[in-house]
Amino acid sequence: MNTIGTRVRLTLFGESHGPSIGAVLDGLPPGETIDWAAVQREMARRRPGQGPWTTSRQETDAYTIESGYFQDKTTGTPLCIRIYNEDCQVQDYQAGVVRPGHADYTTYIRYHGCHDYRGGGHFSGRLTAPLVFAGAIAKQILQRRGVYMGGHILQVGTIGDRPFSALGESKDTLCTLTTQALPLLDSTLRPRIEEAIGNVKAEGDSLGGIVELMASGLPAGLGTPFFDSVESVLSHFFFSIPAVKGVSFGSGFALATMKGSASNDSFYYENGTVYTRTNHNGGINGGITNGMPLICQVAIKATPSIGKVQETIDVHAEKNITLAIRGRHDPCIVPRVVPVLEAALAWSLLDLWEDSEGIRGGYI
């Protein structure tokens, strides 16, 4: 339910407007040093205040480490992080009033009305803060094994960036993307995207988009079909993140229109290493990594909290009502979702790697 992973397990806890949120990271390899400044930079990417597309809620996301780190190294026992909520406005939320597009109605039914409805409670995007913390740890461990990853905004509304090169992007390109508030391969699109977001914000509306991710340097052999295939593990985590509505790998849905002679990625040797001449399958064959860059795309729906008047219901009064959502909300969450998805990718890949180590008796 609130825990994901096989060999390295992540548990999230807390509510959007409760005292704190946090995570327990279980199964991390012992003896790993952590660059805490790098962790803070990753968390700052997700925090509001990076541009006009973010909520005005002010959270520093300052964290405390409760366990699992001693004498500058991971101990191998559960690492627990706690992040205190600092800027809550509980008056913006009404018990019984269902916000369209949110989980208010389904959680009311599922938990018999006992859920914390303030800001979405446990179902809020606020819970992605400790998720990014976990991903930042996983990223550092993977980088020591030669794996680098990055993400960019492939699309906001109808404005599209160029896709990643299927055969890979440089380490510098991937790392540079992580320093940008609006990570784009074509930086000339930034003014257009900012204008589009500003326009929907003025209308009391919102925009969605698509994020593209890449991980390079992965060894061949990660993944365990059928139900723990690389696509299965990554999709499980991606779809656990609020607002994610679609996932594809490599050429994705375009594969449905391609003949096998086009979609098959031909293999060849170069200096004793196996490569493919194309990468339509996104670095995965049969649910197992093949050593080529792993590429995937994730669709993000428009932020459901909007200022326009909408039809909805009051489940306490059992009547139809109209609602214009108050409070502080992102007119477009796509930029802030990029580091969240990178974190999910990093944690999932570390879990797959550790699982493969157990299967094969050593690092691949």
Closest C-alpha among 43, 331, 62 to residue 207: 331
Which helix (H) or strand (E) segment is 248 a member of?
A: strand 244-249
CA 358, CA 345: separation in Å to the nearest integer? 20
Is 37 part of any known ligand binding site?
no
Closest C-alpha among 54, 19, 28 to residue 141: 28
Closest C-alpha among 203, 202, 181 to residue 190: 181
Is 170 part of any known ligand binding site?
no
Is 303 part of any known ligand binding site?
yes
CA 28, CA 141: separation in Å to the nearest integer? 9
- Output the six-digit token pair for 34: 């952590």
Which residues on neighbouring strands pair with residue 273, listed in sequence order?
270
CA 116, CA 318: separation in Å to the nearest integer? 19
Is 304 part of any known ligand binding site?
yes
Is 100 part of any known ligand binding site?
no
Amino acid at 7: R
How do the residues of the chain divide into helix, strand and coil, expressed in percent and rounded to 5?
30, 25, 45
Which helix (H) or strand (E) segment is 142 a member of?
A: helix 128-143
Which helix (H) or strand (E) segment is 14 a member of?
A: strand 9-14
Is 286 part of any known ligand binding site?
yes
Mention every residue, 6+ apart, whose C-beta is less than 8 A from residue 87: 57, 58, 59
The beta strand positions in 15-86, using DSSP E, are 20-26, 63-67, 69-70, 73-74, 79-84
Rg of the chain, C-alpha, whole Å: 21
120 exposure class (CB count in 10 Å sphere: 0-12, 13-18, 19+): buried
Is 328 part of any known ligand binding site?
yes
Is 236 part of any known ligand binding site?
no
Task: State the CB neighbour count (10 A cutoff) for residue 37.
Answer: 7
Name the H helices within the chain.
36-46, 104-110, 128-143, 171-177, 190-202, 230-238, 260-263, 334-360
- Output the six-digit token pair for 322: 């109209």
Is 261 part of any known ligand binding site?
no
Residues in binding site: 46, 122-124, 286, 301-305, 328
Binding site as annotated, residues for NADP(+): 46
Known binding-site residues for FMN equal 122-124, 286, 301-305, 328
